[in-house]
Amino acid sequence: MHATDEFGPERIVQVYDRKSGARGVLVVDNTAIGPGKGGIRMVPDVTTQEVMGLARAMTWKNALAGIPFGGAKSGIAADPRKVDKAQIIAGFARAIAPYIPGMYIAGPDMNTTEKEMADFANALNNPKACTGKPASMGGLPHELGSTGFGVAHSTKVATEFAKLNISGATVAIEGFGNVGTFTMKHLAQMGAKIVAISDSKGTAYLQTGLDYQKAMDTKAQNGTITAYPGANGLKSEELFSLPVDIVIPGARPNVIHEGNVGSIRAKLVIEAANIPMKPELEEQLAKRGILVVPDFVANAGGVISSYVEHIGGTKEQMFKMVEEKVTSNTKQVLSATTAAKNPRQAALEIARQRVLDAMKK
């Protein structure tokens, strides 16, 4: 038996498609606000319990984002390096077809991309079956940088609450993938000074500031940001202890942990990545007067982009909605934060209330 509560899950669907051999699970957590939205991850050891947790996180994330989507998630038990992904995705789509799109709208996640979303939609002959599709199918692809754009706007709001000026504020960004690069681009346009960036090879630190285009060129030409001309090369984990105003974990989970949380000197931590630290560590930072903007507040640009794609909107409409909603929701969460209630608790309270209100209706 799996644990349930007043919010859900509404459906746990374990599936097997004989034709492709696809095995997986769909968890529709809550559809009070709208159809459940969440990505498909493809990993060999995916579990129902894991997918349930992710589906619940999407319920809160979509509610807080202020879009008419509920929470859901799905997982396919397969090694993406050893299977025909197109065949497996199509088989999974056929197996969960009765729930699409009324109860579930898919999207990319771990080991699934816009290509798999095209395969998913084509298997059902329904472009509304998922988001994250190629632009040729009416999609708003990841390459537009909606998440990093939203992170930058969430950061701007947080600096106002922390009584910092975004112009000239020093920033360290962990991770220089899609989220990190676009976060850097938009923060630089706002006047922030990005002094440190890390990737898997290490950290590039330059007190006078790193140039966005030069950083992009360095990464493209050398395969690592640590080759940035004139920058000091540090270990990846040293980024978190640098004397900066803002730290943005933007890649891996649990990069802030018991071993380094005490060394953070920033005034603000903006969680661009999912679960970059445990909630109890956020509480520790709050007690030290460090303001933490939780992941599902700061990085909601991606799900907002998914909604705009779902309703057939343009990239211009998407950027406008991401800015408006991320700005508004960050303000609401930080305004509700008190000495007794940290930002994550405030955000969850707002999200839960929105879902409860929808359930009553």
Tell me how crowded residue 348 is: count the other CB atoms within 10 A of its CB. Answer: 18
**CA proximity to 121, closest of 309, 300, 299:** 309
Q: Who's near 92: CB < 8 A, 6+ residues apart?
A: 15, 17, 20, 22, 24, 40, 74, 76, 120
Helix axes 146-161, 315-336, angle to 10 degrees: 30
Calpha distance 58→39 (Å, rounded): 9
Calpha distance 91→15 (Å, rounded): 10
User: What is the set of active-site residues?
Assistant: 73
CA distances to 125, 202, 225, 289 from 214, in Å: 43, 17, 10, 34
Segment 119-122 long-range contacts (CB within 8 Å, at least 24 positions apart): 119/85, 119/86, 119/89, 119/90, 119/93, 120/40, 120/89, 120/90, 120/92, 120/93, 122/90
Is residue 127 a contact partner of residue 133, using CB atoms and an 8 Å limit?
yes
H helix intervals, 205-276: 212-222
**CA proximity to 247, closest of 216, 281, 271, 278:** 271
